[in-house]
Amino acid sequence: MEKTFSQSELEAIAAALGDTSEGLTGPEIGHILASLKMSDPTPTMTKWKRLHNAFVERQSYSQNRRAIVQFIREAMKPERYAKQPERFEPMRANLNRALAFSGMAVSAAGELSAVTRAETLTEAARRADELRVDLTRRGVHADVLRFCRAELVADNYFHAVLEATKSIADKLRAKSGLAEDGAKLVDAVLCGPMPHVKINALVTDSQRSEQSGFANLVKGTFGMFRNPTAHEARILWAMSKEDAEDLLSLASLIHRRIDAATV
């Protein structure tokens, strides 16, 4: 009987190849699927789900993993990244973590080969990978996903949330050109009759209330999840994975609203 990927392996491979910030683009996915004559059953879904469904359908039909292996080879041809070489290594690293439990790896030359099958991940790497996969499923903003790194979740999820909330302040400063921090930054950027950054037209009472509510949400996020932890040892706040995912989803919402705001 020919080898197949397990469901968890297919999900990990799809999540790596369809990563929001470091994976293939939608058109690239469509082109490779078409070139390999693979069905694309859910083309409008998020990238990783689109790939996962295509892989599951093809493997179920063929009862082997050859088409998926070929997709990986096509996706990781270095010449695809001649104009954007900086994309190749992050994608290769993500993909190799996914492939490790299948006994496969992509080399720096883009070649797929057999390696010793991994049996365990370090706790930090496992935490980071699980967090990233869960947040990718939620469609979390790329500027938040980049904090799902092993070094930030080595003890618990404290530092990932801390760095994500810091990134909100960084974006507000970049958007407004101001140099304040914390609540002072929110007041200067989002508050007042003529704020530096507007999330809507500020014409109606409802729109002005929305702006004020958003400012309070950001200020509360800084106050609850940044300021206390910035000055206390992280061991004092043992954060669960579930709490971290909810807080990082909140950070994602704030990032999206700021991205869409006008100056």
Give pLDDT, residue 55. 96
pLDDT at 232 over 60: no
Backbone φ and ψ of 154, nearest 5°: -60, -40
Query: 36 and 74 in contact (C-beta within 8 Å)?
Result: yes
Q: How far is CA 104 from CA 56, 99, 166, in A?
A: 19, 5, 37
Indicate whether this model's pTM tops 0.85.
no
Q: Which of 107-111, 168-172, 203-207, 218-222 has the lowest mean pLDDT?
A: 107-111
Confidence band for 32, pLDDT divided at 50, 70 and 90: very high
Percent of the chain with pLDDT over 70: 90
Residue 71 CA to residue 59 CA, distance in Å, equals: 12
Residue 64 CA to residue 239 CA, distance in Å, equals: 41
pLDDT at 161 over 70: yes
82-117 burial string, b = 16+ CB within 10 Å, else e?
eeeeeebeebbebbbbbbbbbebbbeeebeeeeeee
Residue 18 CA to residue 48 CA, distance in Å, equals: 4
Long-range contacts of 191-197 (CB under 8 A, 24+ apart): 191/215, 196/263, 197/172, 197/258, 197/261, 197/262, 197/263
pLDDT at 138 over 90: no
Which one of 62-66, 91-95, 156-160, 166-170 scores highest in mean pLDDT? 62-66
Residue 223 CA to residue 229 CA, distance in Å, equals: 10
Give pLDDT, residue 240. 83
Give pLDDT, residue 233. 42
Residue 107 CA to residue 92 CA, distance in Å, equals: 8
